[in-house]
């Protein structure tokens, strides 16, 4: 690899408006989510803010865009259709990759195909809807995991399942042997302790063991709406595990920062991969997108 490669990471867009909330899809979880949206988050997550950040990544000519879930709010077919149209404005499927979040797979859809509408952005197989999927873009290979499952009222957690984790392990080992730059995409925090039990994935410890034994160059997630860098020791070296803030936060909500996204620049020299992380987003509500920070990812001493 003699050239740089840039990957833009967006997460937790929470597109509005909520559409298609008809009696067929009413239940306690969706009613609670609907009330929460209108009383708390409706004024926070704005599509125009997400569009502003996407436009910034395009202006900087990012080679690829990755979105780690929660494109919508109540997982309704009307919302998912609208998100598919929004994805088309973000880029063609060969330039954008998506994994679903818990708000995308929120509650029962009574047989509707749901996020399979985004299949072209998730490996391209709407029939099998299989995870993990692999997308190779230049020197980088994206491994997309699905941690989202239907849950009951008050539960925002998830689960990967033993089969998905086993396949992910095999992929990471094989791709590592091939010398690929492996980037894992997942919505929920992938390590134990990064989220409270009702917001965590049940098999985080199992996934951590796979990362330790198989290695990866970068793991990206969302869900918490807060930026965070954690390191995991692995057989191939320390892995940066990075959570992103919401890409649509137009004003401060609780302790969540304003909208931001990550821009990762990869450079490979011999067997070594260097990654520069640039955080771009809003410094003030209603302001322009600016560079908030920039650093070369290096494990602590």
* pLDDT confidence bin for 271, thresholds 50/70/90: confident
Q: What is the pLDDT averaged over residues 221-233?
A: 98
* pLDDT confidence bin for 125, thresholds 50/70/90: low
| Contacts with 12 (C-beta within 8 Å, 6 or more apart), sequence order | 68, 69, 70, 101, 222, 223, 225, 244, 245, 246, 247, 248
42-72 pLDDT, tens digit per residue, is 999 999 999 999 999 999 999 999 999 999 9
Residue 93's pLDDT is what? Answer: 96
Residue 84's pLDDT is what? Answer: 97
Whole-prediction pTM: 0.97
In this structure, what token pair is assigned to residue 243?
Answer: 């959570």
The dihedrals phi and psi of 216, each to the nearest 5 degrees, come to -170, 165
Residue 3's pLDDT is what? Answer: 72
CATH class, 5-296 region:
alpha beta
Residue 176 scores a pLDDT above 80: yes
Q: What is the pLDDT averaged over residues 13-19?
A: 95
85-104 pLDDT, tens digit per residue, is 999 999 999 999 999 999 99
| Region of residue 154 (left: phi > 0; alpha: psi -120 to 50; beta: else) | left
Q: What is the pLDDT averaged over residues 153-170?
A: 97
């Amino acid at each position: 690899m003699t050239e740089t490669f840039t990957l833009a990471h967006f997460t937790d867009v929470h597109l509005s408006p909520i559409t298609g909330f008809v009696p067929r899809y009413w239940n306690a979880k969706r009613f609670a989510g609907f009330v929460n949206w209108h009383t708390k988050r409706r004024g926070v997550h704005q599509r125009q803010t997400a569009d502003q950040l996407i436009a910034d990544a395009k202006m900087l000519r990012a080679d690829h865009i990755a979105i780690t879930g929660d494109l919508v709010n109540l997982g309704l077919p009307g919302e998912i259709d609208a998100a598919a149209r929004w994805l088309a404005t973000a880029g063609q499927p060969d330039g954008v990759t998506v994994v679903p979040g818990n708000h995308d797979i929120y509650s029962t859809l009574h047989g509707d195909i749901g996020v399979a509408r985004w299949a072209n952005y998730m490996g391209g197989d709407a029939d099998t809807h299989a995870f993990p999927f692999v997308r190779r873009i230049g020197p980088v290979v994206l491994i997309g995991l699905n941690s989202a499952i239907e849950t009951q009222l008050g539960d925002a957690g998830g689960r990967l399942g033993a089969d998905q984790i086993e396949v992910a392990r095999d992929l990471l080992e094989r791709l590592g042997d091939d010398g690929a730059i492996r980037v894992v995409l997942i919505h929920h925090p992938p390590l134990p302790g990064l989220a409270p039990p009702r917001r965590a994935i049940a098999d985080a410890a199992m996934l951590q063991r796979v990362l330790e034994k198989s290695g990866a160059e970068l793991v990206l997630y969302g869900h918490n709406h807060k930026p965070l860098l954690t390191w995991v020791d692995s057989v191939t070296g320390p892995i940066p595990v990075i959570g992103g803030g919401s890409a649509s936060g137009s004003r401060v909500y609780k302790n969540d920062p304003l909208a931001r996204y990550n821009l990762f620049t990869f450079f490979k020299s011999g067997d070594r991969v260097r990654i520069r992380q640039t955080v771009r987003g809003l410094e003030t509500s209603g302001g322009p997108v600016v560079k908030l920070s920039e650093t070369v990812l290096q494990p602590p001493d």
